[in-house]
Amino acid sequence: MKAALSKAELEADIAGRLGGDVFKVHEKPAVETLSTGIPEIDALTGGLPRGAISEVFGHASSGRTSLMYSMLAYATTQGETCALIDTNDLFAPAAAAAAGIDFDRLLWVRGAGNLEHAFKATDLLLHAGGFGLVILDIGDVAAKDTRRIISSWWYRFRHTVEDRPTVIVVVSEEACTRSCAALTLELNGAAEWSRANPHRFVAPRNVMPMRKQTPVNRPVNRPSVTHGNLLRLNTIKVNRQRPLSPSLNEVRFGAYHNASVR
Amino acid sequence: MFASIHVQQIPANLSLPEFAYNFSPVVEEHRPGTVVIDVDGCELLFGSAYQLANEISFRAKKPGLEGGLESTVSVAIAANPDAAIHAATRLQGITFVSPGEELTCLGEFPVAHLDYSLVNIEKKVADEILETLKLWGIRTFADFALLPVAGVSERLGQPGVRLQQLAAGKTERHLKVKPPAPVFAYSIELEHAITELEPLSFVFAPLLHQLCAALNAYALSTNELRVVMQLENRTSHERKLTLPHPMRDHKVFLKLLLLDTEMHPPQAAVRSVSITCEPVKPRVLQNGLFVPLAPAPDKLELTLARLAKLVGEENIGSPALLDTHRPDAFTLRRFTLNTKAANNRQLAIDNRQCLGFRIFRPPLRAVVQAEQGWPMQISAWGKQRSVYGKVVSLAGPWRTTGDWWRGDRWARDEWDVMLEHSGQQAVYRIYRELKTETWFVEGNYD
């Protein structure tokens, strides 16, 4: 009790000399975020944290690319300068245009499967500064290669963007950023065949609609089916290394699956 | 003291002001063929005023390649520029007008030859005054100069007084200096040919530094650098760096030039380097407070150059769709910063069909087991990926054809198929080329 009193006295004495704020706990400023363009995922995750690495991983047809296009579409329409490091040259401009990406604000770096070049290119872009969203797409790189990525790359990226308003998104098949990602989204749902939305890619407005998608030999005994938005059918698992806000600190499963998406 | 140089005619490729800059940095071009220079302080270089006039006359006769005018010039030296101009234009050879004795030299000139533009008098006013002087019987500069100033002022006004001072050679004014034409070209000849990039950087650096200093002096920038290297095998290596925004940072230019030279090396050792640029007005940009941050233009250019070196120039840029229905038809444009404010910020992304597609380049050649024309089992292997599995769902086919008039026409039936392999399902787009009856996997819906 005596010690506690003397501590209080000491604190009061120091506070009197140096001002009242010396024993105030320093609060970290709230993390700024960038929307993914999908309100349900934003509600689940709080958005993509700026100045940090976010990771989206999942197997083929799990909706990684759809989510990536949505992020790019939102960011470019908000006036952010974006960069996509496409390690295996898989970006489809027609699909991206249909998703609403503003190509004037997108820098596309086409790789030829060289993982080292992709990482060096990402490093150059991050050091240039000023990019709002940098996406490193290693979604088609073999898992054995992604496991060999040395951690120092991720630490380097994290350190580079720490005090910058840049969002790094890593799209991969397996989680590979380890503890460096502030937000990890696992897309583990299986693709389903949707009959509700007979949608294929639509031509952008500047292209004359000459392409006639005429089904030939349409089967009589099979329904005319095509798939809709893959993300709609997905289950998303969120893992946060750094909580964005106390209310969104819980790991939730399948929330997006249940959310009503128009 | 002032020296006026007058020449009747010079070759079209030579310039009298350029010639005059060899003697003094203060040059006024009165009219084509007549210049006045301030020669105060030139004694240490050229000796007395008379020696200077001799030197001007001597050098003017030299050929153009040796810095001359290939012509005979009249040179007059006087205490004021207007007297020097009158003497040089009226008298051949070298004339020295002693200070205070202007009328001795100019006095006999006809008054009609007074150059009234020197004292800023309009032609109409000057003609009236000269007509009056003619009626009075005033014929020469001396006659006019000897008239009483008060009487001239009373009858002819202030323009008359100014003209009288001009005739007497007593005007006082500063030269209207014409700055030398800016030079934005620098070159260097090397004693020994350079074969490596690093030593070449030490050649580029001072040239670019001079170039940027010249641009800075005129508050200009450049968006195009031209580099010409004369090589040892008697050929030349030319490169043009085009920048999206005007800049004048010699460090950025040096890095860009080195990266470009590294990507496009000359075929032989370099004997001389010449760098020129196209001067343009600098970029003035006021960013909005609420506009998202964008990369700095110079940093972005350096980054793009480094990326081009890393992955190849053809592999970076902004995609642009081509106006065709050919599958995967696009081009890559040079990436430039878009400074326009996003006008569609309120665009709702969720009302778009955001369907991701990963396209395989080149498409995977596939072996398809079909039953009555319907794909049932697919196997495709490539260097980087393989696709195989049993078809559990499918849609299609959609027939697309185009460019039938060209050699590279396409005609194919497309299917969207869901494959199952080891319990995992994935959706692919496959197509069958109608011409060769070959199956391919085009990409993966993701």
CA distances from A1 to A4, A6, A11, B152 (A): 5, 8, 15, 111
Domain A30-191+225-258 = CATH 3.40.50.300: yes
Put simply, whether B358 touches A (Cβ < 8 Å) is yes
**pLDDT at residue B50 is higher than 80:** yes
Measured distance CA(A149)–CA(A114) in Å, rounded: 12
Average pLDDT over residues B48-55: 87
Looking at residue A32, its amino acid is E
Q: What is the pLDDT of residue B236?
A: 92
* Residue A207 in tokens: 């292209």
B319 and A93 in contact (C-beta within 8 Å)? yes
Q: How far is B344 from chain A (nearest CA, A)?
A: 6
Measured distance CA(B73)–CA(B94) in Å, rounded: 9
Contacts of B332 in chain A (CB under 8 A): 108, 110
Q: Do B425 and A61 touch (CB under 8 A)?
A: yes
Q: What is the pLDDT of residue B269?
A: 93
What residue segments make up the domains of chain B, in order of their start?
A: 2-168, 182-340, 357-445
B155-166 residue pLDDT tens: 888 888 988 888
| Parts of chain A with a pLDDT under 50 | 195-233, 235, 240-262
Q: What is the pLDDT of residue B407?
A: 84
Q: What is the pLDDT of residue A91?
A: 93
More confident residue, A193 or B225: B225
Contacts of A207 in chain B (CB under 8 A): 321, 323-325
Task: Report helix angle B197-217 to B250-263, nearest 10.
Answer: 140
Q: Do A210 and B325 touch (CB under 8 A)?
A: yes
Nearest to B316 among A107, A128, A219 (CB): A107
Put simply, whether B445 touches A (Cβ < 8 Å) is yes
**What's CA B199's distance to the chain center, in Å?**
27
Q: How far is A26 from chain B (nearest CA, A)?
A: 28
**pLDDT at residue B181 is higher than 50:** yes
Q: Which CATH number fits domain B182-340: 3.20.130.10, 3.30.1490.190, 3.30.465.10, 3.30.1490.100?
A: 3.30.1490.100
Contacts of A142 in chain B (CB under 8 A): 384
Q: What is the pLDDT of residue A134?
A: 95
What residue segments make up the domains of chain A, in order of their start?
A: 30-191+225-258
Q: How far is A195 from chain B (nearest CA, A)?
A: 10
Contacts of B355 in chain A (CB under 8 A): 66, 95, 98-99, 199, 201, 228-230
Contacts of B351 in chain A (CB under 8 A): 262
What is this structure's pTM? Answer: 0.69
Measured distance CA(B379)–CA(B390) in Å, rounded: 9
B112-150 residue pLDDT tens: 888 888 888 888 888 898 889 889 888 888 888 888 988
Q: How far is A102 from chain B (nearest CA, A)?
A: 10
B375-420 residue pLDDT tens: 889 999 888 788 989 988 888 788 888 888 888 888 988 888 888 8
Residue of B nearest to A171 (CA): B446
Q: How far is B383 from chain A (nearest CA, A)?
A: 10
Q: Do A225 and B310 touch (CB under 8 A)?
A: no
Q: Which CATH number fits domain B2-168: 1.10.579.10, 3.30.1360.120, 2.60.120.380, 1.10.150.20?
A: 1.10.150.20
